[in-house]
Amino acid sequence: MTLDVVLITGMSGSGKSVALNALEDLGYYCVDNLPPELLPAFVRLQHARQGTRVAVAIDARSATSLPNLPQQLRRLSQWRDRGVQLHVLFLDANTATLVRRFSETRRRHPLSQAEALDGGALADIIEHERALLSQLREHAHVIDTSNIRGAQLQSYVKALIRTPAQQLTLVFQSFGFKHGLPLDADYVFDVRMLPNPYYDEVLRPLTGKDAPVQDFLRQQDDVQAMQAHIAQFLDRWLPALEANHRSYVTVAIGCTGGQHRSVYLVEQLSQHYRQRWQTLLRHREMDARDLKTTQHP
C-alpha cells in the first residue's frame, strides 16, 4: 500500500497553517510542529498502520533539530520501494511581507525569544530564520506566498500533491514584474521587450488566454522567437534535471502586469511540454484577481 507523505516547512508567517488545512480537507492526517528526529519513526508507524495520507509541518520552532532534517529526508526518499511517496513543500515570502503579516496579526515570531536574538528587530530575526532554513529549502519545492491569497495557496498545494513525486513536474508561472519577482522560480524569463497588447484598446481588458490576444501575439515574430528560445533552453536542460532526480522545476515568465504576454507564453509552453512531463499552470496575478472577483462579486 502506498503512503503519501507531505512535509510542509518554510518561513514563519508564510502560510503553513493554510497549507495544512488544504491537506486536511483532502483527507490527510496532519501533524503540526513534529520534532524532526521523530519524522522517520512517525512515517514507519503510519506505514505499519496502513495509512495512506499524512502531512507534517516542521519549521523553525524545532531550530535545534533542523540541521538533521535534510539527512532524514534523504533517508525517507529511499523508501520508495516500500511504497512511501514523499513531497517536500517549502513556503516562502519576502521579508517585507512577513514583517507586515506579523505586525497585522500582532503575533510574536517563534524565534523572537531565542537567547541570541532576544530584543532584535523583527526583520533581523526573519533573516536569521531564512539562513537557518536555507539548506532545507534546497531539498523542497518552493512556493512564494508573498503575492498570493490563502485560497490560491490552497489550490497550488492541492495541485502539487496530486502529481507523482517520482516524476519531474514542470510548473509554468506567469507574473507581473510590477508586483514583484517570484521567489519560487528556478528559471525566470523577462518578456517585457515583446509587443504589448495593452496598447490596443480592444485587447487591453482581455488576457493571454483569450483568442484575440493569442492571435495578435502569434503574429509577432519576436514573440515566436522568444517562445522558441525558451523551449530550446528547456529542451537542453530538463533531461539533465530529470536525471538528477528533481521532482519539480518552476519556470516563471514575466511581463509588466502579468496579464497578456507572460500568460500567453505560459499557456503555449505548458501545452507543448505536457506531452512529455507532468505540467502545472499558475497565473499569479490573474489567479488573485479571479479569486477576488469570486469572493466579492
Element (H, E) at 218: helix 211-218
Residue 218: per-residue pLDDT: 97
Residue 50: per-residue pLDDT: 81
Residue 296: per-residue pLDDT: 45
Element (H, E) at 211: helix 211-218
Which residues make Cβ contacts (< 8 Å) with residue 148, sequence separation at least 6? Answer: 156, 284, 287, 288
Model confidence, pTM: 0.85
Mean pLDDT by 10 residues, the chain (297 residues): 90 94 93 89 88 89 78 83 89 95 87 63 90 87 93 92 82 96 95 97 97 98 98 96 88 97 98 92 88 54
Domain ranges of the chain: 3-161, 169-295
Element (H, E) at 199: none
Residue 174: per-residue pLDDT: 97
Alpha-carbon span 221 to 30, nearest angstrom: 50
**CATH code, residues 3-161:** 3.40.50.300
Residue 297: per-residue pLDDT: 43
